[in-house]
Amino acid sequence: MPIIKSAKKALRSSKRKRVINDRRRITMRKSIKQVKKLVLENKTKDTKTALSLAYQAIDKAAKRGVIKPNTASRKKSRLSALAKKSA
The pLDDT tens digits along the chain (87 residues) read 899 999 999 999 999 999 999 999 999 999 999 999 999 999 989 999 999 999 999 999 999 999 999 999 999 999 999 999 887
Give residue 76's pLDDT: 98
Q: What is the pTM of this model?
A: 0.89
**pLDDT tens per residue across span 34-56:** 999 999 999 989 999 999 999 99
50 class by beta-carbon count within 10 Å (0-12 exposed, 13-18 middle, 19+ buried): buried
Give the separation between CA 19 and CA 40, rounded to whole angstroms: 32
* Residue 59 neighbours by CB under 8 Å, 6+ apart: 72
3-state secondary structure 40-58: HCCCHHHHHHHHHHHHHHH
Give residue 86's pLDDT: 81
